[in-house]
Structures are given as C-alpha cells and as structure tokens.
Structure 1
Amino acid sequence: MSDDLWRVPAVELVRRIWRGELSPVTLVECCLDRIEARNERTNAFVTVLADEALDRAHEADRAVERGEELGPLHGVPVGIKDLTSVAGVRTTYGSTALAEHVPERDDPAVARLREAGAIVLGKTNTSEFGHLATTDNDLFGSTGNPVDPTKTAGGSSGGSAAAVADGLVPLAQGTDAGGSVRIPASACGIVGIKPSFGRVSRLTRPDAFTDASPFVATGPLARTVGDAALLLDAMAGVDPLDPFSLPTADESFVDATDAAVDGFRVAYSPALGAFAVAEAVRETVEDAADAFADAGMAVERADPDLDGVWEEAREASLVTFQSKMATTVAGSAAAFGVDLGERLDELSGVLPAMVERGREHSAVDLGRANAVRTAVFDAIQALLSEYHLLVAPTLAVPPFERESFGPERIDGERVDRYTGWYLTQPFNMTGHPAASVPAGTVDGLPVGLQIVGRRHRDADVVAAAAAFERQRPWTEHVA
C-alpha cells in the first residue's frame, strides 16, 4: 500500500487515519522512503527529522488506539520552510552564518500545526532569508523542479513546493513576501495560497512590525485546493504576540471549497496591464480562465490601472525589500545571537548588495515608496470594487534553468531578470489574498493561474480555486 500512498490527497489520509485504516507510522515511513529515493533529484528537504517524526507517528498511533479526540491533521507529515522556526530543530534561513542556529520556540504556524496533530517531517530549502524568487543558497545549494530537475522550482519556498509536487510530503508550509508561495506553486504545478496579511500569525523579534513592509504572509502548499484549505485552516488564527493577526475567520476554508460561486464577477487580466508575459503563457492562462465561466461565474477582460504606475512601483518595492534585508541584518544579533553585519561576506547571491542598498535608504525614501505603493493599492481596490476576483498569470514564463535568476528577455522584450518575470509582487504591496493553481503546461512545464480576492475575502479565493479545479482537474503528481 505504501508504494502509492504518496498519491493520496491529505484530506483522504486524515479520514483513513481517523477510521483506523491507516497508521501514521506507515505514512511517515512512506514519506521517509520517498525522500531517501528522490530528494537528491531536487534538493527539496535540507533537514529530515526521521527519528523524531517516527516517534511522533507512534504516539499518534497510540492516540487512535485509545480512542482519543483527534486533530484535523492527526498523523499527517508536513514540511516546514527553513525560514520558519521549529523549536529544537536547526533553522538556518539558508545562511552559512546560521548553519547551527536552533530556535527555542515554534513559530505560531508550527505550533498550531502541532496542535492539529501534524507531524513535522523536516525543513525545506529556501533562498537565503528569502531574498530571491528562486531557491538557492551557499549552504545547501539549489532546488530543482520535480517535473524537470534541470529547471527551477521557483522560490523562495521552492523546497516546500518541490517536496509536495514530488510526493515527498503531503503538505508543506511556505512564506510569501513578494510571491514566494505562489511562484514555486506555479513552477511546480501545485496549489499555493498567500492568505490575507495577518490571517496566519507570525512571530518576528526583535521587530514585531517588520512584516508590514512589504506585507509578508505564511501560507500552504499542496497538490489540491482541498488539501491547501485543510492546511490553511490549521495554521490560521490569532496570536497575541503578532500585532497584525486577524480574528479567526467565520467559516472554515475546507467548507469554502464547496461554497457556491454563482454570481461572482471575475476580471481576467492577461498581464495586469503592466507586465511582459510570454505569448505561450498568455494563451494557456486565457484558455484556462474559461473554466470560471464554465463554473457559473461572469468573466470579463479588465486590467487594474497599473500602466504608468508599475515601473515606479517596482522600484518602490525594491526600496522596501532592501530596507527589510538591512533591518534583518541590523537586528540579527538580538534575533539569532549572530551579528550578520560583521559577516556580510558570508551572505549569498545579491543579498550583500541588497543590505548595502537598504542601509542607504532614508525614512523619507520609505515614505515615498509607500506613497507609490498606495497608488498600486488604489488601483487594485478600484478594480475589485467592481469584481469579486481578479485572475491573471502567476508567472510570465515557464520554469527556466535551475541556476538562473530569471530571463533577461520575454518574447524579445527586456525585463529585470530578478523581478520582471512574476506577477505576484503587487499583492504583497496591497495585502489582498491570492492563490496560484495549475493552469496547464507550456512545453511540458507547469503554468500557474493567479486568483486574487477582495481584502479579507480569503474564502472567495478558495471557493473559486476549488470551482476551477473541478472544471479543470490537473495531474496532481509527478511520477
């Protein structure tokens, strides 16, 4: 049975465990066997907690045998991105300078997953401090795409996305500051949700307010919308130490997967009115967008008013992100017990340059950046005052070479190779909920469709994604 167990959706795994038909030990062993056999292809997991996970699985088995009340993820293994703290487990942030860093407490999302009965299987790869939209660092190397390991898995939650897409683990957690859940979900052909800012609580110290610029979210990565909703339900909730955490939603996201979508008005935008998008990707997403009409929604061609705004906004987003990286380094001694400011030469990629640029920005620079950010917010709000949802490509291109930062041209048009190929950043500037679902393929490589909802209407995004999935079921697993 375990040979094909990785193909079973998490919602069904939970049912089998609850009914006593599936042992959590068997499930964990299946994942560990698959990691041993396949992780070398992608480098998705960077730390595997085999002994600890098996101990937890045996405890979960005994709880079932005793007839105890079981949580919604009882006995289900999960992967945790290596930017997210797990108490007593090496959490490196993809940094050689933090190779031995072991946090003393769980991130709120991890704590809630444990409360739900999930078993932490290990940590997944990321770019260092999530500074790139691909997944690579000097400590662990790059993460490849399960569809074609010579191609990128996207990032910065590429390890989590690749682990789920390749069946190494049923569910994984990611974080998203510019698209880092949705980008790898699109690249790997799975579901990724960036919930509303504050929907899943986070713990950041010494600066409790750092996640506001840009808006950073914790979200689920899964092979189906139902599985993603299950994981989001488990992670979402208020934490008194997060000044931005939202009240618990009135309805469960799992329930939202069956919600009616008749009457939803959907704006389809092939490039958000501002991005270069490869023609093959446009065609794939446009064809997929017909599924919303097939599901009973009214679909119209409409763009947010970003023309003439986004180029300045892109620069503004760099100012905020560079400042965030510089602030992270400035607070590193208090946060990690390591002063990264004295070890900049150990940081990977373009991170040292980001930090140096961030140190140069003034409070006035940040104020100006937020004024431009406001224009993006107003443009998205204006469109979503007329429509319930906005759909667009997640990425402008299919997955590219594994060691690349991104394309320099898209269909002949020059773009920024670091930021010009993903259409996710605007919604980290605004905080709107957004998801990426598989739309199809180009040359055999996955293409994602992005669904954006009104502020705090995460349930609408989940409902629309589930309706889309029913109309256009995708191949969920990589053999």
Structure 2
Amino acid sequence: MTTDNPTSSDSPTVGADLGDQLWRWNATELARAIATGLISSREVVESCLSRIEDVNPHLNALVEVRPEDALSLADAADRQRSSGAQLGPLHGVPVATKVNSDVAGYATTDGIPAFKDSAAKQDSAHVASLRRAGAVIMGRSNSPAFAYRWFTNNDLYGRTLNPWDSSRTPGGSSGGAASAVASGMVPTAGGNDIGGSVRYPAYACGVVGLRPTVGRVAQTYQSDEVDSSLSVQIMAVQGPLARSVEDVRLAMKALEDFSHRDPAFVPGARAAKLPGHRPRVGLVRDFGVAAPSSAVNTSLESAADYLCDAGYVVEEIELPVLAEAYRLWYLLCMEEFRLAMPLVDEVGDDGMKKAAEHYYAVAQEWWGNKPSLDQFIAGYARRGTLIRQLGGILESHPLILLPVSSEQAFEQDADIASVESMRRLMGAQASMMAIPVLGFPAMSVPTGVVDGLPTGVQLLGRRFDEDTLLDAATVIEAHAGTFTPIGPR
C-alpha cells in the first residue's frame, strides 16, 4: 500500500488566464466573484464547457449538455447582476442535475432507453430551488438504470468512469455527478441518496457529499403524477456533491427552500442546542458487519487526530444499531421495490436485473424468500425503536466518525460478478443503507489518496444538525486538504 498526498489544485489568482482557469475555481469563489463583477457567469460557463469538451468524451459523466441553453442562462444571470437585483447564493454558478430528477424540457430518463423521450413538464422541487438560487443548469449527470447500483452504467448512455482509475467505479447512483465534479466539469452537482447514492460516489471520486436529514431539503424524487413508495418518501433525500466543504454548505443554502410538493418536508426544523464546547465524537471502526481495510482504518485514525487537535473529544464506541438497520433496509426498501420488478423486467438493463437478483439472494438469508406482511409491518415498527436508540446515542456523542465503505472504490461491476461478490459489497456498504432507514444526516469527506485511489471518512450526526457535521468536516478538510479537480488517469 502506498500513500500519496497530491497537491490540491489551488484556484488561480486574479489576473491569471481566466478562460483556462475558471473551471478550477470552487463554487464559493465563483459566486463571490460573479456577484462582485470580477468575472461574468458567461466566462465561467464558457470555461466549464471547454473543460467538458476536453474530459467528458472519456469519462462520460455528463450525458446531456446544451451549451446554448447554459450560455443563455449565464447571460440572464449577468443581466440580473448588472441591474442590481438581489442575488441568490449560487447566482451564475454552473451545476449539474441527475437524470432521475425532473428538469423542465429535459427527459427524465433514469438511464433507460424506453424513457429517452419522457420530457419533464416542470422542475423537481429541488431543481426549482437551485434555479431560484441563481444556479446555471449545465447538463445532466449519468446514473445506473433506476438509480439502482453503486456502479454507473446503463443501456441508454453507457458507462461513467472514475477519473482516478477507469477500472474502478465512480460510485452510484450519483456516479456521473461525482465524476463531473472531481474532473472539473462543474463545481457542484446534485445527487440523491436512499442507499448511499450521494455519499459513496463522493467517496469513490475524492469529493465531498452530504446526505441531509429527511425533510431538510424539499424534493420531488419522482414526478408529481407518480405515487412514491413509503420508503422513498421517508428515506430518500437530495444532497449536494462538491470539491470542498464550504461549497456543500453553500449548496445547502440554495436547497433549503420551501415547497408544498414534498410530503416529508419540515420547514424551519432545527436540532436541539449543543453544549457550549466542542462535542464528543464517537469513533466506530466496525459495527459488526465488515472490518475496515488498512487504508480505511488509517483514514479514520487521521480524521480522529485532526478532530482531537481542534478540541473535539474522540472516544471509540460500539454501534450495533446500525447493523440491525442495515439488514432492515433490505426488508423495507427491497420488498417495496419488488413491486416495480415487472417494469424492471420489461425495460431494465441486464446489469440492473443481475444486481437485483444478487441483492435478493443475499437478503433472503435474513428475511426468507418472500417476507410476510407481518414481517414488513414489524420491520417498520422496529425502525421507530432504532431511531430512538440512535438518537439517544447522539445525545452523548453528537458526532459519529465511521467508514463510508470498508473498502476503497470497488472494481467495475463487482456487484454482478457473483452472489458472493455482492455479499462482500453489501457488507462493505452497510452504513450506506443503515443511515437512510433511520433518516439521519451523514456526509463523506475525503482524507487522502492511497494506491492511486481516494479514501475518506463518514460523519453521522443528529437530525437537522447538518451544521455540526459541516463544522467537523471543515476541520478534517483543513488538515487533509482537497484533492480535486484532477484530469482523467
């Protein structure tokens, strides 16, 4: 194992060749410079379009880019600034949206050929929030079919590559978003997370990804005409991916916007106040499902040291509640998804069908071949108990430091290689499923590069207390540095 510490790509100083360099700037720098008139949104969009032209043909991270539309939005943003209008937090800043989120006039394809002409009539609630914040929609990021895998590949658009190593997954399902952000195509992108789909791609590509509390960001995960399953309503969230913690914080300001269209939205919700000193952090290396690799364990130790240096009290704790919640996800979510399997059989791709077969094969060991309605009802009842248990632990340790995954980025298509391979992946990804079941916020923060692949840690916190997560992530980032944007390797 070799540990690399590549120098992060610092933003250029004023006076540099802006046309070549603006794609390197982070979203916070861009928003500030656009708002003050130092640069124009058009200059930024032109720079990002040039970067997309250079690297996207190889990475295939953005699957629908409309340069004329993006430039038109940029020009409108510049006119607004010149008029003295009040500007939103992402005014004039390029963002990418995911192919499973509605954007008016774009097809919500979900990576499925049968849906390639399914143009949305209106923006999803979270996309509308980005527009009101002034963001420039640059394009659509790739996703596996039905956003179902930790690998971003589908029959409509093909495979997205990890810019660090094309033989490894960029993560899923927001793999296109993570690859695009890491390679400098856009400074920030939207993702959604019901089973790690923000946190894992961020981890695999060396960027920051936040899964907010359920109800914090108003969303419409599916079009308003579709009845979303219960698990989607109470577990799925929209969250940002970016190259820095401050950019994730900025994106959250844009996303925390009221909408009546989300039945789970909780306007104005706040966590209980913290004590007036640095919180205690519970360090969890292994909660009883999969032991971390050497690289992951080293990342945990480094992050713990950084937090201790900043005055946090870090203590190793046990957290078996997550092991139970992980298995429960495969009852509650997967049994509801079984209702969609006829549609999958009709329009889904072979990779997704094989992944589903393997998921169900492993889950059968816990829940049987066909779980009963009684089991399903009892599972939801148990969910409430586990939420209370985790909430109690977070009263004494308002932050928990744990792995994102027990391994670094998986080999491409490891989930469909065999049932045994899927079993290994499911164990490695246990927290990706456990945390959504319980509805708490969590985020992925990079800490370094080992053997040419990013590694990092996950922070888990109290409901509606994203600020405490972001504060701790800022400490870790200040010590570890940032590792993107990078060119494809």
The 3 A distance-change label for structure 1 pair 35 and 441 is: same
Partner of 2:53 in structure 1?
36
Structure 1 segment 260-299 matched on structure 2, within 5 A: 262-299=277-314
**1-structure distance, mates of 2:157, 2:357:** 21
Q: Distance in 2 between matches of 1:361 and 1:273?
A: 24
- Match of residue 334 from structure 1: none
SS in 2 for 1:436: strand
Contact 1:95-1:128 within 8 A present in 2 as well:
yes
Deviation string, structure 1 residues 241-269 (Cα, Å, up to 9, x no partner): 21110113569xxxxxxx99842110011
Cα distance, 1:415–1:376 mapped onto 2, change above 3 Å: farther
Deviation at 1:94, TM superposition (A): 1.2
Give the stretch that moved more between structures: 210-219 or 385-394. Answer: 210-219
Distance 1:3 1:71, change over 3 A: same
Superposed, 1:73-472 pairs within 5 Å as 73-203=90-220, 204=222, 205=224, 206-208=226-228, 210-212=230-232, 215-248=235-268, 262-306=277-321, 310=323, 313-328=325-340, 340=343, 343-344=346-347, 348-350=351-353, 353=357, 362-374=372-384, 376-405=386-415, 416-422=423-429, 423-472=431-480
Pick which of 39-48 and 416-425 moved more: 416-425
Cα 1:324–1:138 shift into 2, 3 Å: farther
Q: 1:437 to 1:324 in 2, by over 3 A?
A: same
How much has 1:341 moved relative to structure 2? Answer: 6.7
Q: 1:128 to 1:59 in 2, by over 3 A?
A: same
- What does the per-residue CA deviation read over 1:76-102, in whole Å, with 9 as the maximum and x for residues that have no partner? 110001111101112201112212111
Within the alignment, does 1:46 sit opposite 2:63 as a pair? yes
Specify the alignment match of 2:86 in structure 1.
69
Asked if 1:13 corresponds to 2:4, the answer is: no
What is the SS of the residue equivalent to 1:416? helix
| Alignment match, 1:474 | 482
Q: 1:50, 1:319 → 2: CA distance?
A: 44
Sort the Cα spacing of 1:343 and 1:244 in 2 relative to 1 into closer, same or farther, 3 A.
same
CA contact (8 A) 1:236 1:248 kept: no
Counterpart Cα distance in 2 of 1:304 and 1:346: 37
Identity %: 36
1:147-185 deviation per Cα after TM superposition (whole angstroms, max 9, x unaligned): 122221011101001100100001100000011100011
2-structure distance, mates of 1:302, 1:177? 25
In structure 2, C-alpha distance between the alignment counterparts of 1:294 and 1:408, rounded to whole Å: 44
Normalised TM-score (structure 2) = 0.86
CA RMSD of aligned residues (A): 2.9
- Which AA in structure 2 matches 1:432? F
- What amino acid is aligned across from residue 303 of structure 2 in structure 1? A
- Amino acid across the alignment from 2:446: P
What code does the residue aligned with 1:219 have? G
Amino acid at match of 1:141: G
User: 1:2 matched to which residue of 2?
Assistant: 19
| Aligned-partner Cα distance in 1 for 2:441–2:346 | 36
2:167 touches 2:412 (CA, 8 Å); kept in 1?
Answer: yes
SS in 1 for 2:51: helix
More deviation, 364-373/381-390: 364-373
| Closer, same or farther: CA 354–442 of 1 in aligned 2, 3 Å | closer
Structure 2 vs 1, CA of residues 417 and 152 (structure 1 numbering), >3 Å: closer, same or farther?
same
Specify the code of the residue in structure 2 equivalent to 1:285. Answer: L
Q: What's the CA shift for 1:39? A: 0.7
Shift of 1:123: 0.6
TM-superposed CA distance for 1:220, in Å, is: 0.4
Q: For residue 280 of structure 1, report the CA deviation from its aligned partner.
A: 2.5
Answer yes or no: is the 8 Å Cα contact 1:213–1:320 preserved in 2: no
Distance in 1 (CA, whole Å) between partners of 2:442 and 2:195 is 11
Pick which of 153-162 and 69-78 moved more.
69-78
Taking the aligned partners of 2:349 and 2:233, their CA distance within structure 1 comes to 25
SS in 2 for 1:402: coil
- Partner of residue 255, structure 1: none
| Unaligned residue ranges in structure 1 (runs of 5+) | 252-258, 331-339
Question: CA 1:300 to 1:461, structure 2 compared with 1: closer, same or farther past 3 Å?
Answer: same
Q: 1:363-401, CA deviations, whole angstroms, 9 ceiling, x for partnerless residues?
A: 333223324544543442332121010011111111132
Q: Judge which range, 172-181 or 371-380, deviates more.
A: 371-380
Within 2, Cα distance between the matches of 1:88 and 1:7?
Answer: 29
CA distance in 1, matches of 2:196, 2:332: 15
How far apart in 1 are the matches of 2:55 and 2:61?
A: 9
Between 195-204 and 395-404, report the one with greater CA deviation.
395-404
Q: Which has the higher contact order (CA 8 A, sep 6+)?
A: 2
Contact 1:313 1:369 in 2 (8 A): no
Deviation at 1:414, TM superposition (A): 7.8
| Per-residue deviation, residues 324-363 of structure 1 (Å, max 9, x unmatched) | 4344568xxxxxxxxx378256564236648999995553
Per-residue CA distance 1:181-231 (angstroms, 9 max, x = gap):
000111111100000001111224432563556601100000001101111
Q: How many residues align?
A: 458
Q: Which moved more, 1:184-193 or 1:364-373?
A: 364-373
* Alpha-carbon contact 2:447-2:476 (below 8 Å) kept: no
Say if 2:240 and 2:248, in contact at 8 Å, map to a contact too.
Answer: yes
CA contact (8 A) 1:163 1:169 kept: yes
Unaligned runs of 5+ in 2: 1-17, 364-368
- CA gap 1:118/1:322 in 2 versus in 1, 3 angstroms: same
The aligned residue for residue 5 of structure 2 is none
CA contact (8 A) 2:94 2:135 kept: yes
> After the TM superposition, which of the residue ranges 392-401 and 361-370 deviates more from structure 2?
361-370
In structure 1, give the amino acid aligned to 2:375.
D
